[in-house]
């Protein structure tokens, strides 16, 4: 593999930190041009020094967006690991692929909100979008060498989060500290809450619809508590191909950054003989109301509803993290925002951003009166 010039956006977060480990382990294969963080200046400087990066950018500062794009162009960056979370960075994702730069994408919110716009720009400008979510990385690997028309079903696995066995009657009493204790993965606070509500899997269904150009009826979810099988695909001949591995984000990061080659992820392979069992069961949509909402929104095909759902969920989760609302309120906030949506899809990234702001304000007003 020829040496790649790389940038990491969101280097101090959970995914970004895993990316640093992968890049360090393959220092002969990567030249780190730039790293970014939103506000963590000390963490940013540490990452810059660890990777010997040429530039470090704080995205909370004015003109950081332009600075990042200028660096990508001037230094001819090959691939960007986009590890920053949240919907606020949707335009940066859009502009990077519009620039023709390959992107290893961990930001599912951008695809949920502006998937058709981002995918179109990527195709028009020769930019590859390489998924970093473990489930979509698994699908990407299982689809390699296959023809889409022979896919019968794509099934994304979910750990089920900390409440997979909790009866729905007890959901009214879930506390913040409980929701932040994920049984399998080490992640940031927002995605951990999304996992607890299973909205994370709902967002991933929508992301899969765009990334792999699949009809909603060919997408499914199953709870798999061991988090060893990351996704599997069933084909029209009855065959099923799955991707397995220990739950560690360094593996999908390595797959994306090294593609089409395989590089050192620093992760040990799963030992099947140590697995006493692999269990699978369907999620209870009456219990996981956020997943039910996302599934219904996916079926509509409405980008406006997807944008509203994502914006409302983000605001509701942040309110829950600040103890302003209860866990049980999250799906109620989302549904109330969806009921206000004027079903008009965005035709440009400007319109997409306007819709995000509008629906965030709706959700903020709702959480403020709960």
Tell me if residue 211 falls in helix, strand or coil: helix
182 is in an annotated binding site: yes
231 is in an annotated binding site: no
45 is in an annotated binding site: no
133 is in an annotated binding site: yes
40 is in an annotated binding site: yes
Centre a 10 Å sphere on the Cβ of residue 70 and count the other Cβ atoms it contains.
Answer: 12
Alpha carbon 259 to its chain's center: 19
Q: 198 phi and psi, to 5 degrees?
A: 70, 15
75 is in an annotated binding site: no
Tell which residue, 27, 59, 29, 31, has the closest CA to residue 44.
59
Q: Provide the sign of the torsion angle of the four alpha carbons 207, 210, 212, 215, taken in this order.
A: positive
CA distance 155 to 222: 7
- Cα–Cα distances (Å) from 343 to 272, 303, 304, in that order, read 48, 8, 6
**Which two structure tokens, joined as six digits, stand for 327?**
């866990």
Contacts of 131 (CB under 8 A, 6+ apart): 105, 137, 139, 140, 207, 211, 252, 256
- Cα–Cα distances (Å) from 128 to 9, 65, 101, in that order, read 17, 20, 7
17 is in an annotated binding site: no
13 is in an annotated binding site: yes
CA distance 223 to 209: 19
18 is in an annotated binding site: no
194 is in an annotated binding site: no
107 is in an annotated binding site: yes
124 is in an annotated binding site: no
345 is in an annotated binding site: no
CA distance 166 to 73: 50
90 is in an annotated binding site: no
- Binding positions for Mn(2+): 133, 135, 204
- Binding positions for 1-deoxy-D-xylulose 5-phosphate: 108, 134-135, 159, 182, 195, 200-201, 204
- Binding positions: 12-15, 40, 107-109, 133-135, 159, 182, 188, 195, 200-201, 204
- Binding positions for NADPH: 12-15, 40, 107, 109, 188
């Amino acid at each position: 593999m020829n040496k790649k010039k790389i940038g990491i956006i969101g280097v101090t977060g959970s995914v970004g930190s895993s990316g640093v480990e992968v890049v360090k382990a393959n220092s002969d294969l990567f030249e780190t041009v730039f790293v970014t963080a939103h506000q963590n200046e000390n963490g940013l400087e540490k990452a810059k020094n660890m990777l010997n990066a040429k530039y470090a950018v704080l995205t909370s500062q004015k003109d950081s967006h332009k600075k990042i794009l200028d660096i990508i162009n001037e230094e001819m960056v090959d691939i960007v690991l986009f590890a920053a979370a949240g919907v606020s960075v949707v335009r940066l994702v859009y502009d990077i692929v519009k620039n023709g730069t390959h992107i290893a994408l961990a930001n599912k919110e951008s695809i949920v909100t502006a998937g058709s716009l981002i995918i179109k720009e990527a195709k028009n400008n020769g930019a590859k979008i390489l998924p970093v979510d473990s489930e979509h990385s698994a699908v990407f690997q299982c689809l390699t060498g296959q023809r889409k028309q022979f896919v019968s079903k794509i099934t994304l696995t979910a750990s089920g989060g900390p409440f997979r066995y909790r009866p729905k009657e007890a959901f009214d009493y879930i506390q913040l500290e409980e929701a932040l204790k994920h049984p399998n993965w080490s992640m940031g606070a927002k995605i951990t809450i999304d996992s607890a509500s299973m909205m994370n899997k709902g967002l991933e269904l929508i992301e899969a619809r765009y990334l792999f150009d699949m009809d909603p009826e060919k997408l499914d979810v199953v709870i798999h508590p061991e988090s060893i099988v990351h996704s599997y695909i069933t084909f029209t001949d009855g065959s099923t191909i799955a991707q397995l591995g220990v739950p560690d984000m360094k593996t999908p990061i390595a797959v994306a950054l090294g593609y089409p080659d395989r590089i050192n992820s620093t992760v040990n392979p799963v030992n099947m003989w140590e697995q006493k069992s692999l269990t699978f069961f369907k999620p209870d949509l009456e219990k996981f109301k956020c997943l039910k909402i996302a599934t219904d929104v996916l079926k509509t095909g409405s980008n406006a509803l997807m944008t509203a759902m994502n914006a409302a969920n983000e605001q509701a989760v942040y309110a829950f993290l600040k103890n302003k609302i209860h866990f049980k309120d999250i799906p109620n906030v989302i549904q109330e925002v969806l009921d206000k949506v004027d079903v008009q899809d965005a035709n440009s990234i400007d319109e997409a951003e306007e819709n995000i702001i509008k629906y965030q304000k709706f959700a903020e007003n709702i959480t403020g009166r709960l």
